[in-house]
Amino acid sequence: MSTSVEQLNHTTTCYAHPHRETGLKCYKCGQPMCVDCSRHMIVGVWCKKCIYVQRGIPEYLHWTWEVYTQSVELAASIGRKIETAVNAAFDAAAPLLMPILRVLFILTSVVFITIRLFISILWLLWCIFWTVFNVYALVTAIQNLFREDSNRNLASTSQSVYEALDAINSILEMFVDLFRWEKDKQ
């Protein structure tokens, strides 16, 4: 099959815009179309009519689909222009803002380090208080256990042992939580 030079240079006009010459054809139906009438699909470039048929849009609603697609394209275009303007403004302001941002970063770091130090000190004070409280409870329970009282029975002795073990357990749990918190903090 030979192709002549005349067939290669042959251009047609768009089906919707007869005044526009084009060499682009719809992948699905083969109809010539201009760039404005073409849409990129997963498989090739399709004309609007084939897209309408594929999506099941009735012919009387084609104009609404056109308005929708043009609105989306306009919004994207406006978004790109805004993005370009913001980037240009930031690039122009960056040399002026960098010293200010560095100072703000340092101040923010100092504030967060101070807050973390304050929280660590409060946690340490709470741990000391809790330890003293539980040591006092342990000492009281041991004193009650070894107190020579003729009226002591097995129930009160086991209650004193339980209180002593509970105090020891509370102290150990507090230290385990303290070490777990320090490990998580790192």
Distance CA 162, CA 156 (A): 10
Q: Which helix (H) or strand (E) holds 133?
A: helix 62-146
Distance CA 37, CA 55 (A): 16
Q: Are residues 51 and 70 in the same domain?
A: no
Q: Are residues 103 and 76 in the same domain?
A: yes
Q: Are residues 106 and 48 in the same domain?
A: no
Query: What digits encode the pLDDT tens for the residues 125-135?
Result: 887 887 777 77
Question: How, if at all, do strands 45-47 and 12-13 pair?
Answer: unpaired
Query: What digits encode the pLDDT tens for the residues 3-32?
Result: 444 444 567 888 888 888 888 999 989 999
Q: Are residues 62 and 34 in the same domain?
A: no
Residues near 26 by beta carbon (within 8 Å), at least 6 away in sequence:
32, 33, 38, 45, 46, 47, 50
Q: From residue 33, how far is each of 30, 54, 109 by CA, in Å?
A: 9, 17, 60
Distance CA 24, CA 41 (A): 14
Residue with tokens 């719809």: 26
pTM given for the model: 0.35
Cβ atoms of 17 and 3 within 8 Å: the answer is: no
* Tally of domains in the chain: 2
Q: Sorting pLDDT into bands at 50, 70 and 90, what band is 65?
A: low
Q: Are residues 48 and 63 in the same domain?
A: no
Q: Are residues 37 and 63 in the same domain?
A: no
Q: Are residues 14 and 96 in the same domain?
A: no
Domain with 93, as residue range(s), is 57-185
Of the three residues 56, 74, 89, the one that is the final residue of a domain is 56
